[in-house]
Amino acid sequence: MPKVKITETVLRDAHQSLIATRMTTDEMLPIVSKLDKVGYHSLEAWGGATFDACLRFLNEDPWERLRKIRKEAKNTKLQMLFRGQNILGYKHYADDVVEYFVQKSIANGIDILRIFDALNDIRNLQTAINACKKEGGHVQATVCYTISPVHNIESFVKMAKQLEDNGADSICIKDMAGLLTPYVAYDLVKAMKAAVKIPIQLHTHYTSGVASMTYLKAIEAGVDVVDTAISSLALGTSQPPTEPLVATLQGTQYDTGLDLGLLSEIAEYFRPLREKYIASGLLDPKVMSVDINTLLYQVPGGMISNLVSQLKQQNKEDKFEEVLKEVPKVREDFGFPPLVTPTSQIVGTQAVLNVIAGERYKMVSKESKALVKGEYGKTPVEIADEFRKKIIGDEQPVTCRPADLIEPELEKLRSEIKEFIEQDEDVLSYALFPQVATKFFEFRRAQKYKIDGDMVNMEQKTHPI
């Protein structure tokens, strides 16, 4: 058996899951060269919500973050999470934007793109897969794991085979909700390894408390790589901790070969940062506990906290149990989508509306209408005609790949922000988050004038005119 490889998530998913992606580039950079020495399979350092958070909350350029991390990580592959046709945003973008984004991601330092679609609709992955192949990147195509009457080992293995045929270099089983239990993981990995020739990687969250056990069974079944987070930012809604897994596998046929002493130094670096986040209220100790509702209702931990906050705003917290029971019903009506961004938000919000209104689908969100219409792609189960008519009336459903209906956008976007462009990548930041990016560009310009003005003042003091 080959050794097990590890992808470290501390620079992306760990802090995304625990502190809403608020770690700054300055907090990351001092430890990157040490992370680079560990011998990880890869560092997940970009993508997901990092792009949005950099611009929206940290006044940082996400592209600059990537370049700085790349400079420090000289030996380890950098990996990102890419939402297929949604890129890193929340809607579908034109093919030319997707292609250019992939090109620029790889040019700025990304080696591996983990590409997924919230509906597991392969049509929504193909443009990004082709673009990544063209740029010489590694395509890690993703199977989003979920539980429903229509999802089973056979269906996931079939999808993995299709992804391999479509150009994937490796497959990721993405268990975004922490629903994958140990013995199911064993059977799933075993079946997938028998069906495909490319490596299999497993990603999960600790939310339900079973994740480390799940990894152990997946490793016994032959999984090639697993995602972990350094212990100071692991557990809860984050990933299983890196060091205990390394220690568990030491001296076995699965030995990772990673140095526990070096990992301990890295954990030590992040410990004061963790204390800082707890003190600021960004890291709520509640997200560190096991949430068994995840397994009972097959609802991701982050979605549960979202439902609670929506009910609080309406002073309807007493309806929480009712909403939890409504979620699976809405999901069934909507064709059993996996619950991951953006489908988890759409299904959850609709369940809240149904309960608060006291009548199902009396109020329907515009995102629910778009999902039922087919604007996000093909749902795992065909939505019933009668139900679709109730939600979208006489509107025609979208049956083609949704992006086929979107005209090329790049040139139009460029002309809209030409006054702000300082680098080619700015058009992509604007494409994904127009208002947020514009605000950042204005901030960046103001900072530049401030620095230039300070320099002039200093020169005048040194060399009076």
Q: What is the pLDDT of residues 21-38, one digit of tens each?
A: 999 999 999 999 999 999
Averaged over 388-415, what is the pLDDT?
96
Q: What is the pLDDT of residue 342?
A: 86
φ, ψ dihedrals at 203, nearest 5°: -125, 130
* Whether pLDDT at 339 is above 70: yes
Helix (H) or strand (E) holding 145: none
Residues 6+ apart with CB under 8 A from 246: 6, 256, 258, 260, 263
Cα separation, 149 vs 187, whole angstroms: 18
Where is average pLDDT lowest: 126-140, 234-248, 278-292? Answer: 278-292
For the chain, give the mean pLDDT.
94
Give the percent of the chain with pLDDT over 90: 86
CA dist 145 and 339 (Å) reads 9
Please check whether residue 151 is in contact with residue 120, taking contact to mean a CB–CB distance below 8 angstroms.
no
Say what the pTM is: 0.94
Q: Evaluate if residue 451 carries a pLDDT over 80.
A: no
Cis peptide before 342 (omega within 30 of 0): yes
Say what the pLDDT of residue 457 is: 61
CA angle, 70 as apex, 68 and 71 as ends, to 5°? 65
Does 253 score more than 80 pLDDT?
Answer: yes
Nearest partner of 366 among 332, 398, 391, judged by Cα: 391
Predicted pLDDT at 149: 92
